[in-house]
Structure 1
Amino acid sequence: CTTATKEGIFKREIVPVELKSRKGSTFFEADENFIPDASIEKMGQLKPAFKKDGVVTAANASSINDGASAVVVMSLDKAKAMGIKPLMKLVNICQAGVDPMVMGLGPAAAIPKCLSQVGMKFGDIDYWEVNEAFAAQWLGVGRMLKEDHGMSLTPDNCNFNGSGIALGHPVGSTGLRIVVSLYYELERQGKTTGGASLCVGTGPAMASLWTRDV
């Protein structure tokens, strides 16, 4: 996330917000959640957040943030009538559910379902954005996809520029934020198809499939 910010990768995703005061205007135009000088050594010194002998700390859990996301959705016919070139087309969207006790694993149920409904395979998708509620949760989703469905979700095909842990998790905005990030990363890589998914408290999960071939 730090590298992506330094390289300006997020600039096209972020709409600057002007903050006016007596001293003049300041533009809020960069995410403030990530810690540029974070290190494995510093993170290893943090205390567990929930259990005395637990593994979840402030360093490997998403933070609660403010944020907003927006897109314009319309039919292809309407876009053509208005002379607009769509950025992406929604191929499929679905929801699935898991036991509330393991709610973070929801994407491992939603992703295969979403692919199956339109006759696509995991390998048909060039890139994924799967929200990190917790590091252990994201790893669990990857393990469940691999063991149950033979699908390989790894840092090589998912969340290149950070996710909920580094960028934050503004509930109500994250679902769309990852789709916006998905588009720009597909464009940056020159790739076509993408998928997005996230877990939801109490067990539901959503997954969606997208293409830049419109």
Structure 2
Amino acid sequence: NDGLNDAFSGEHSGWHTEDLVRQNKVSRAAQDAWALRSQSRFSKAQAEGRFKAEIAPVELKTRKGSSVFDTDEHNRPDTTLESLARLKPAFRQDGSITAGNAPGLNSGAAAMIIADRTWAESHGLMPAVRIAGMGVGAVEPGLFGLGPVPAVRQALERAAWPLASVERVEVNEAFAAIAIALVDALGFPQEIVNVEGGAIAHGHPIGATGAILTVRLIHAMQREGLKRGIVTLCIGGGQGVALALERLAS
């Protein structure tokens, strides 16, 4: 089940996130608005070719010939608030989490090299960023979606960065409600969070999402000349992880 069911309660992560929704007073309208934001921003960035540099094309051979697979295919550019509002709750009859304001589970893979700078340069590789700080946090298992809050605070403390110095944030959209609650709890301006959409649009391949978001953040920082970024994810069971990344001069 990809670890989506809580080991303590046996309930699905979406079922538990309905408790987070109530505790943090996240409305259905706010969740749907975030989902539309994710779909719109991702689809716009995709159409502009912003993800080309971070995707390794794969040649697919069939009986009809071959084709190149080089574009994420999960997003729905035609999403509207009206179409989202028509969807029924997915986990509780009286809930507000739907298939539209949650990410799809799909296939994906990502890779990156983490190394000592001296080793990298001795092998002819130019480091893109340095890990300025990292954090791991834990909360009550049923509220796992808030795990990134202590993790991000720890990463910022270890990096000796004030929150206001962060220029870009990638938050895993495990559910729209989680992204909203994290932004509110941490105090990041929404305009620097998931600028090019998130997992609600591109999907959530469980084992790959961490690397996917990290690579996306690095490419965005390089492309836009940003110095400091944060990437963070919640983890089923009540944990959160975060990295503080600082772009290196090329």
- Return the TM-score normalized by structure 1: 0.93
Query: What is the rounded CA distance, in whole Å, between the counterparts of 2:134 and 2:147 in structure 1?
Result: 14
Query: What is the rounded CA distance, in whole Å, between the counterparts of 1:66 and 1:52 in structure 2?
Result: 29
Instruction: Please state how far the C-alpha of 1:154 moved relative to its aligned partner.
Output: 3.4
1:39 — aligned with what? 80
1:105 — aligned with what? 146
- Are the counterparts in 1 of residues 159 and 244 from structure 2 also a CA contact under 8 Å? no
2:64 — aligned with what? 23
Q: Deviations over 1:44-80 (max 9, x none)?
A: 1011111112110111001111110001122111122
2:241 — aligned with what? 206
1:192 — aligned with what? 227
- Structure 1 moving runs of 4+ over 3 Å: none
- Are the counterparts in 1 of residues 127 and 248 from structure 2 also a CA contact under 8 Å? no
1:180 — aligned with what? 215
More helix by share: 2
Count of aligned positions: 208
2:194 — aligned with what? 159
**What is the identity, as a one-letter code, of the residue corresponding to 2:191?**
D
Query: What is the rounded CA distance, in whole Å, between the counterparts of 2:126 and 2:247 in structure 1?
Result: 11
* 1:87 maps onto 2:122 in alignment: no
Instruction: Please state how far the C-alpha of 1:118 moved relative to its aligned partner.
Output: 3.0
Query: What is the rounded CA distance, in whole Å, between the counterparts of 1:137 and 1:154 in structure 2?
Result: 15
**What is the identity, as a one-letter code, of the residue corresponding to 1:213?**
L
- Calculate the aligned-residue CA RMSD, in Å: 1.2
Query: What is the rounded CA distance, in whole Å, between the counterparts of 1:143 and 1:89 in structure 2?
Result: 27
Instruction: Please state how far the C-alpha of 1:178 moved relative to its aligned partner.
Output: 0.6
- Give structure 2 stretches of 5+ with no counterpart: 1-41
Query: What is the rounded CA distance, in whole Å, between the counterparts of 2:124 and 2:92 in structure 1?
Result: 56
Q: Deviations over 1:166-196 (max 9, x none)?
A: 1111111111111100011112221111111
Q: Deviations over 1:136-155 (max 9, x none)?
A: 1111112222xxxxxx2233
**Structure 2 residue matching 1:156: 3-state secondary structure:** helix
**What is the identity, as a one-letter code, of the residue corresponding to 2:63?**
R
- Are the counterparts in 2 of residues 108 and 142 from structure 1 also a CA contact under 8 Å? no
- Give structure 1 stretches of 5+ with no counterpart: 146-151
**Structure 2 residue matching 1:138: 3-state secondary structure:** helix
2:14 — aligned with what? none
- Are the counterparts in 1 of residues 132 and 245 from structure 2 also a CA contact under 8 Å? yes
- Are the counterparts in 2 of residues 104 and 200 from structure 1 also a CA contact under 8 Å? yes
